[in-house]
A and B are shown apart, each in its own frame.
Chain A
Amino acid sequence: MNILELRGISKIYGQLSALSEIDLDVAQGEWLAIMGPSGSGKTTVMNIIGCLDKPSCGSVVLDGQELSALSADELTAIRRDKIGLIFQQFHLISYLTALENVMVAQYYHSLVDEKEALAALDRVGLADRAKHLPRQLSGGEQQRVCIARALINYPSIILADEPTGNLDEANERVVMDILHQLHREGSTIVVVTHAPEVAAHAERTVVLEYGKIARIVLGGDPSKAPEVGEACGAGA
């Protein structure tokens, strides 16, 4: 069963076509990597899947629901209920503590449960930093708070845009371990990355070039694995 189906997705900025005619299916529980050169449309596609942005044309079906017809508030509700977002930049609210940053996501979703929020921080190894403000945390710690926040509401799909881009190797390993854990528990994971060693964790890798799917490879490393599809019409 597919949790995500993209059909003919294009995104046009003035003269620039950031994405054109993307078709992509993501299966429930799959770990997918998206790679490609800078400017190839990776973030754009992630933002469309994450309900942060709307495609210029094409359709997105997430967990059985067609997104293009939804209003901004309905998209907000989907984002809140089904999607866990992890950014390249550690987007935390600067005047709330680590724990509160996690609890805010609970608040918008349903109910604030401090114990559960603490458990989520514990899971990313930050139980003892719960009362720290973002500026009192290292980059790796901030990213782990973001992950704790992304998974607090049991999202159906976790979207991570360069989750390790700003981290050193040790922190990268911690983050990847957490993603593995989530994956084992059944979460669907989509990771955008430049780093082959990050993509290597994935079951399948989509390579974007100039806003199109250049190729899809099984396994994490697009340079080694055999190609399974060409742009447009590829997917499963």
Chain B
Amino acid sequence: MTERAFTPGVLARANLRRRPFRSAGLAGLVALFTFVLFGGTILNENLSRGLDSLAGRLGADLLIVPYGYEKETQAALLRGEPSTFYLKADLLDKVRGAPGVVQASPQFFLASLNASCCTAQVQIIGYDPESDFLIRPWTRGNLAALEKGQVVVGSRIIPAVGEELTLFGVGFAVAAKMEATGMGFDTSVFMSLDDVYELMVKGGLAEGDLSQINAFISSIALKTSPDFAPRDVGNELMRRHALDYNLDLVLTKNLLSDISVSLKNFSSFIWVLAAFLWLLAMIVMSVVFSVALNERQREFSLLRILGATRGWLGRLILHEASYIGFGGAALGLAGAAVIIFPFSTLIFQSIGLPHLRLSGLTVLAYGLAAFILAGAAGPLASLYSVLSITRFDIYPTLREGE
């Protein structure tokens, strides 16, 4: 190793190399903090973006479902857990005329068994392409008419547009594929209500004939007038029809509130953990730096004798601390990138929340913020050492070494 210039940076690096375990240990601590902070905020941001987009694009303000099926609806919509439930279809017309209701569109939820397309069960959702406002916002291009025998599939259903999909032994043509929604829609297959009813008869899924089956739907999605509060519209509907139809209401906002709560818990957990780790890193580094300061008095005296000013020694310590801080921060970011990004979809699936990718710029901004916050812990922790080195005298310390 022959260095041309002995700047504080060069000497700092030489010194860090001399104590590889100490350096790596401290950098590792900073890396852990960075990992938690960056990984946590990215996950957190991902979640809340997912929620916002969900709330924004879910189109419906209210969902009418059979009494007691609120949870199932939520599971089916958000996580794609297949389920089947019924509501009498003639409710639709009554709802359409109700005050404050702008749009109303019916759905029929049918849980498939293992379909040939997919390893998991898929949720089959029958809908009315004409009045629909739930599915359309997610379909690319225009899907004006969904013809008989055609289906729209979620983004994670394998067959591509133009290919065929077999459900309960009946073949369907894939007419369109939805954009990724991050929710249950991604693993759902959409077809017209008539096709669902027919499928149920053909597949032997229901007793009775078509005319009996098509008297049922599973839910009605409602869009309310801006002049009305969705809750008031819902209450009025409940007052009129709850007894006859045994129904329940889901406010889309409430649908998401469970997630909101877990999201809040998650983010406060992340913040507390990050704050704890930051403090821990600061304390450990401060202690290690001041211990090192004592054991290096001779080295520092010598550098002073050779002509280093106190300020120069201060810079040397700052450099060492910065290398540890920012090196550790970079390590933590790299770790987060390697662990969190490839597995993010998996992570989100396992916690059962919608997942939408963040833009590169956002990730970059969060990364930069975490990098600065974590990296700065190094120099901050060394401040005491820097201040005391700019105060100490050469002669007595050199003497102690004799």
Contact = CB atoms under 8 A, between A and B. Distances in A.
B305 A79 contact: yes
B235 interface: no
Interface string B276-300: 0000000000000000000000110
A236 interface: no
- Among B15, B307, B395, B398, residue most surrounded by chain A Cβ atoms (within 10 Å): B307
A95 B15 contact: yes
Interface of B is mostly: helix
Given A91-B298, A99-B2, A112-B6, A105 B14 contact: no
Contacts of B303: 93, 104
Interface string A165-188: 000000000000000000000000
- Among A73, A88, A96, residue most surrounded by chain B Cβ atoms (within 10 Å): A96
A109 B309 CA distance: 11
A154 interface: no
Given A91-B298, A107-B6, A112-B4, A52 B402 contact: no
Contact of B14 (A85, A96, A112): A96
Interface in B1-17: 1-6, 14-15, 17
Interface in A84-104: 85, 88-89, 91-97, 99-100, 103-104
A52 B302 CA distance: 11
B79 interface: no
B298 to A, nearest CB: 7
Interface residues of B, number: 28
Given A89-B402, A93-B299, A95-B15, A114 B306 contact: no
B18 interface: yes
B308 A76 contact: yes
Contact of A109 (B3, B302, B307, B393): B307
Contacts of B306: 80, 104-105, 108, 149
Interface string B304-318: 111111110000000
B72 to A, nearest CB: 68
A47 interface: yes
Contact of B3 (A91, A92, A100): A100
Given A52-B398, A89-B402, A112-B4, A72 B310 contact: yes
B394 interface: yes
Contact of B302 (A80, A88, A91, A103): A91
B1 A97 contact: yes
Contacts of B304: 76
A114 B2 contact: yes
A93 B302 CA distance: 8
Contacts of A104: 6, 303, 306
A135 to B, nearest CB: 12
- Interface size class, chain A: 20 to 34
B401 interface: yes
B309 A76 contact: yes
Nearest to A73: B309
A157 B17 CA distance: 36
A103 B14 CA distance: 15
B18 A79 contact: no
Given A73-B309, A76-B309, A104-B306, A112 B5 contact: yes
A92 B18 CA distance: 15
B299 A94 contact: yes
Contacts of B14: 95-96
A160 to B, nearest CB: 14
Contact of A100 (B6, B299, B311): B6
Contacts of B305: 50, 52, 79, 85, 91
25 contacts: A52-B395, A52-B398, A53-B393, A73-B311, A76-B304, A76-B307, A76-B309, A79-B307, A88-B402, A89-B401, A91-B305, A91-B398, A93-B299, A94-B299, A95-B14, A99-B2, A100-B3, A103-B3, A103-B6, A104-B303, A105-B306, A107-B6, A108-B6, A114-B2, A149-B306
Given A89-B401, A93-B303, A104-B306, 7 more contacts: A94-B299, A96-B14, A97-B2, A100-B3, A109-B307, A112-B5, A149-B306
**CB-based closest 5 A-B pairs:** A108-B307, A80-B307, A107-B6, A53-B395, A95-B18
